[in-house]
């Protein structure tokens, strides 16, 4: 399925485009689409005033783009919590289901769902859940790809995209797992996972979609 406008807004939000400039390249990697498709969609989003685009610097959400993205992310993640908490789904099987449900969600439904679930602030992938006014706790903005060899920390969140989630769970890496970065080269970032004692090589492209909290 080709990602639509809403998928782009969500991705820009998750990559940190609510407070910082992000690049076309980051969106290309996040959505697995061509650079041409990204340019085309960014032009549309600029026309609709959801984002600003400063050539050679990057893309950032406008206030209305941020509000729109926050609501999309809210709907998606509330359903994810519901699927795990109320329907007993395993965490690695909720993303696609939530993807279908979010498009049929009215603000009223989201509010009732949030209330029933006890107003959760994070989804099972560690992502923030904005409230009905679009406010949310700060999300980690340190990408694993930017962590230096020798630094320690834990996994805080992953970008809510099927390819990213499948990749990470496939490796046996989970939210809250502790690690030390033990090696880095052009292609990979290698983690020593504290919980299992294993070394996990992670593709750079994926490492830029895993966000961490560093131990100082």
209 part of the interface to Zn ion, by CB under 5 A? no
- Segment contacting Zn ion by CB under 5 A, of 27-35, 57-65, 77-85, 205-213: 77-85
The span from the CA of 90 to the CA of 203, in Å, is: 25
Q: Based on CB atoms, which residue is closest to Zn ion, 28 or 89?
A: 89
CB atoms within 10 A of CB 193: 18
Minimal distance in Å, beta carbon 192 to Zn ion? 26
Size of the site for Zn ion (CB under 5 A): 5
Q: Does 80 bind Zn ion (CB under 5 A)?
A: yes
Question: Whose Cβ is closer to Zn ion: residue 42's or residue 72's?
Answer: 72
Query: What DSSP string describes 127-187?
Result: -B---TTS-------EEGGGPPTT-EEEEEEE-S-HHHHHHHHHHT--TT-EEEEEEE-SS
Q: Smallest distance, Å, CB 124 to Zn ion?
A: 6
Q: Is the Cβ–Cβ distance between 59 and 12 less than 8 Å? A: yes
Q: How far is the C-alpha of 31 from the C-alpha of 185, rounded, in Å?
A: 23
- Residues 123-142 touching Zn ion, rule: CB under 5 A, are 123, 125, 127
Position among 14, 18, 156, 160 found at the interface with Zn ion (CB under 5 A): 160
Angstrom distance (rounded) from CA 104 to CA 214: 37
Q: Quick one: which H or E segment has residue 215?
A: none
Instruction: Note whether 121 and 137 are within 8 A (CB).
Output: yes
Q: Is 102 in the site for Zn ion (CB under 5 A)?
A: no
Applying CB under 5 A, the span of 15-23, 103-111, 120-128, 192-200 interacting with Zn ion comes to 120-128
Shortest CB 200 distance to Zn ion, Å: 21
To Zn ion, the closest distance from the beta carbon of 125 in angstroms equals: 3
User: What is the Cα gyration radius of the chain?
Assistant: 17
Using the rule CB under 5 A, give the single segment among 31-39, 45-53, 117-125, 206-214 that binds Zn ion: 117-125
Looking from the CA of 158 toward its CB, the CA atoms found within 13 Å total 24
**Residue 2 CB, nearest approach to Zn ion (Å):** 21
Which residues are near Zn ion by CB under 5 A?
80, 123, 125, 127, 160
């Amino acid at each position: 399925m080709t990602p639509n406008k809403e998928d782009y807004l969500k991705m820009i939000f998750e990559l940190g485009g609510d407070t910082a400039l992000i690049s076309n390249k980051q969106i290309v990697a996040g959505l697995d689409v061509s650079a041409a498709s990204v340019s085309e969609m960014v032009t549309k989003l600029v026309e609709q005033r959801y984002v600003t685009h400063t050539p050679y610097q990057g893309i950032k959400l406008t206030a209305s783009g941020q509000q729109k993205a926050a609501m999309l992310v809210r709907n998606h993640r509330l359903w994810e919590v519901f699927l795990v908490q109320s329907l007993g789904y395993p965490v690695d099987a909720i993303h696609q289901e939530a993807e279908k449900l979010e498009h049929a969600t009215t603000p009223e439904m989201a509010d009732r769902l949030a209330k029933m679930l006890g107003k959760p602030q994070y989804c099972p992938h560690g992502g923030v859940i904005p409230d009905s006014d679009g406010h949310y706790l700060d999300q980690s903005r340190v990408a694993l790809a930017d962590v230096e060899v020798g630094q320690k920390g834990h996994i805080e969140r992953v970008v809510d995209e099927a390819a990213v989630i499948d990749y990470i769970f496939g490796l046996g890496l989970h939210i809250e797992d502790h690690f030390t970065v033990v090696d880095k080269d052009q292609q990979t970032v290698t983690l020593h996972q504290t919980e299992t004692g294993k070394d996990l090589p992670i593709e750079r492209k994926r490492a830029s979609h895993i966000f961490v909290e560093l131990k100082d």
